[in-house]
Structure 1
Amino acid sequence: MAEFSAPFTGSPITTQLQWSRMIRRAILDGVHADDSSSTALKVTASGTTTVTVAPGRATVNGFHYDLDAAKNLDVVANAGGAARIDYVVLRADQAAKKVTAEYKTGGTTAPTLTQDEEGVWEIPIAQCTVGAGSSVVTAANVVDKRYLVSRPAIPSIPGARRPSIKNGLLVEDGKLFYGDGAQWRWLATAGVDDSTYTPVWTVNNGGTTINWGSGSLNYGRYQAFGKRVDLTIQLQPTGNPPAYTDPIEVSLPPGLPASGLHRAVFTWLLGSENGEGSAGGVAVMYPTVSTGRIARLQYPVSNGSASTSKPDMHNMLTNFPMNIRTGDVLTIDGSYWLA
């Protein structure tokens, strides 16, 4: 068994392979460009017996490549009876100790790339189609195949951002921004991955816990995106709790209290398997009651059927207007904002 580590004093990088293995994990293969509009190492053709590689830079198998002037590559004549699909590649050759742009012929399908970490390593930058009996490539028969590489995500201090970098990513206090070249645009904020919890159902301002029966399905699922939390709660009782006179309440996910600046509103739906039909309404989080639980499940009613009748909202109880018990399914779904 042999162990190797570097670079240390007395243990330097001494071979190309050692360098390649170290650098290619830090820098991906590809053309150095900020977006697809870049012409770096882009291949063009004009119906002649050559194709042209534009100036640019790239990394191939950990090795740097720099082309400072356009390079023409000869198209190999196609003597076959069918169109041939070729590649223009960047080829890192450790035996030759260099990276070069090369024209590589294929067949009815594109050629296989050689990728030997200790020898020749190729990446494509263009696909060219040569007609049967032809030795020219037209502009229409060149397909851009460049792998593009750019900067990793950039950390930033609030109030001290660098100028926007085209297609760059910037991370600042748990927020991810995208650069369009003119400004940094908010893209995402760190949150909480898809998680579950066991909701606590109460009445009497959280003072009394509702017992829905042993083995009842009582399931909360949530995911946080920055300051917003998406939440679904489902309850399937296996028993019949007492007929409490106070409204039903249910807890929000632990550690994610709602903002106290405004009410959050959810929808709820109850389906009964006990011959009582179904009902729906809104579930409301009242900041004055609690920021840690939904305080009311409400349903619409009216004091009459005339055009002058006034709408109203009543609170759902454990046994009114429907008796919630074994076989029923209660679902609450919506989102709310964090403090």
Structure 2
Amino acid sequence: MAEFSAPFDGSSITTELQWSRMARRWGSDGAHTEDPSSTVLKVTGSGTTNVTVAPGGAFVNGFYYYLDTTKTLAVPTNSGGAARVDLVVLRADQAANSVTAVYKTGGTTVPPLTQVEDGVWEIPLAQCTVAAGSAVVTAANVVDKRYLTGRGVVPSVSGARPPSVKNTLLVEGTDLYVGDGASWQYIGGQSVKEGQYTPVWTAGGSNISWGSGSINFGRYQSRLKRVDLTIQLQPTGNPAASTDPIYVSLPPGLPAASAHRSLFTWAFTSGNGEGSAVGVAIVFPTISTSQIVALRYPVANGNTSTAIPNSYSLFTNTPFNIRSGDVLTIDGSYWLA
């Protein structure tokens, strides 16, 4: 086993391969631009027997390339009987000690890139199609194939952001932005990929026991300021009757917004011959932002157009005697505080 490290006094980088292996970690292969509409190293055909490569810089297998003026490349005549598909590539050649823009002919399909770590390494700039018996490439026959490489993620201090850079990410605290060239657009923030918790059910300030071995779980996902939540309850026991409505806790550390109510749908199915019902579960922030404090269901005060509708809260024993065999599900989303 051999170990290598550099650069140190007495342990220098002595080969191009050593340099390539180190330098390629500094930046990915590609033209140096964050903007696909940029002309950096863009290939153009103009209906002649040449194509042109615009000025610009790039990384190729850890080696730096820069073209300071437009380069013209000749298009070989297609002597075959079918259209030929070619490439314009940047070719790093460690034997030649150079990176150059090269026109590479193919066949009826695009030619493969040569990518040998310690030899020739190519990356594409454009794909060109040449008609049979021709050496002419028009603008319509050129397809942009450039790899692009730009800056890494830009850290920022609140109130002191750098100018926006197109297609560049900026991190400010736990918030993520992308640049459009004019401003930084917010795209994300701190989130929870997926989580589960054990909901706490209460009535009148006392915990409700649903029985040993009952199924009682909450599953949630937090994205930006929005939380998706499903609560599933399947009792194995029969809790005591209560004169207070059922409350159930939201995921810990993710309180609901206090500026407005949050609504969920709940569904109950009895396994004891008491039917089923659906209703709305509500977070009343004036009561609590960490709990659902009402599971309401509609009731009728009459069957005329002047009758005022109403709703009642779900209790452990009203309108159903919730017990083993029943299923109660709450599902929806809410805004974070």
User: TM-score, length-normalised on structure 1?
Assistant: 0.94
Partner of 1:333: 331
Determine if the alignment matches structure 1 residue 244 to structure 2 residue 277: no
Correspondent of 2:299 among 298, 301, 313: 301
1:171-210 Cα distance to aligned partner (Å, 9 max, x none): 10110111111111111111111111121222122x2223
1:186-245 Cα distance to aligned partner (Å, 9 max, x none): 11111111111121222122x22231x333322211111233322111222334333333
C-alpha distance in structure 1 between counterparts of 2:202 and 2:27, whole Å = 56
Aligned-pair CA distance for 1:121: 0.4
Aligned-pair CA distance for 1:249: 1.5
Determine if the alignment matches structure 1 residue 291 to structure 2 residue 274: no
C-alpha distance in structure 2 between counterparts of 1:243 and 1:231, whole Å = 27
Correspondent of 1:278 among 255, 271, 276: 276
Partner of 1:127: 127
Partner of 2:164: 164
Partner of 2:308: 310
* Preserved contact between residue 200 and residue 207 of structure 2 (Cα < 8 Å): no
SS in 2 for 1:335: strand
Give the AA of the match of 2:207. T
* Preserved contact between residue 217 and residue 236 of structure 1 (Cα < 8 Å): yes
Determine if the alignment matches structure 1 residue 94 to structure 2 residue 94: yes
* Preserved contact between residue 203 and residue 210 of structure 1 (Cα < 8 Å): no
Partner of 1:44: 44
Structure 1 residues 17-36: aligned runs within 5 Å: 17-36=17-36
1:101-141 Cα distance to aligned partner (Å, 9 max, x none): 01111112111111111011001111111122222222211
C-alpha distance in structure 2 between counterparts of 1:262 and 1:11, whole Å = 66
Aligned-pair CA distance for 1:167: 1.8
* Preserved contact between residue 89 and residue 102 of structure 1 (Cα < 8 Å): yes
Aligned-pair CA distance for 1:279: 1.4
Partner of 1:69: 69
Mean CA deviation greater in 163-172 or 264-273: 264-273
* Preserved contact between residue 86 and residue 104 of structure 1 (Cα < 8 Å): yes
* Preserved contact between residue 31 and residue 149 of structure 2 (Cα < 8 Å): yes
Give the AA of the match of 1:254. P
Give the AA of the match of 1:5. S
Partner of 1:227: 225
Give the AA of the match of 2:10. G
Give the AA of the match of 1:293. Q
C-alpha distance in structure 2 between counterparts of 1:122 and 1:61, whole Å = 8
Partner of 1:209: 208
Structure 1 residues 52-63: aligned runs within 5 Å: 52-63=52-63
Partner of 1:178: 178
C-alpha distance in structure 2 between counterparts of 1:82 and 1:238, whole Å = 75
Gaps of 5+ in 1: none
How large is the RMSD of aligned CA atoms in angstroms?
1.7
Mean CA deviation greater in 3-12 or 14-23: 3-12
User: What is the number of residues matched between the two proteins?
Assistant: 337
Aligned-pair CA distance for 1:95: 0.9
Determine if the alignment matches structure 1 residue 16 to structure 2 residue 16: yes
* Preserved contact between residue 269 and residue 327 of structure 2 (Cα < 8 Å): yes
User: TM-score, length-normalised on structure 2?
Assistant: 0.94
C-alpha distance in structure 2 between counterparts of 1:21 and 1:80, whole Å = 40
SS in 2 for 1:107: coil
Identity of aligned residues (%): 66
Structure 1 residues 136-155: aligned runs within 5 Å: 136-155=136-155
Moved over 4 A (4+): none
SS in 1 for 2:25: coil
Give the AA of the match of 1:151. R
SS in 1 for 2:106: strand
1:268-319 Cα distance to aligned partner (Å, 9 max, x none): 1223344433211111122343332211111122311121211222100122
Gaps of 5+ in 2: none
C-alpha distance in structure 2 between counterparts of 1:127 and 1:276, whole Å = 70
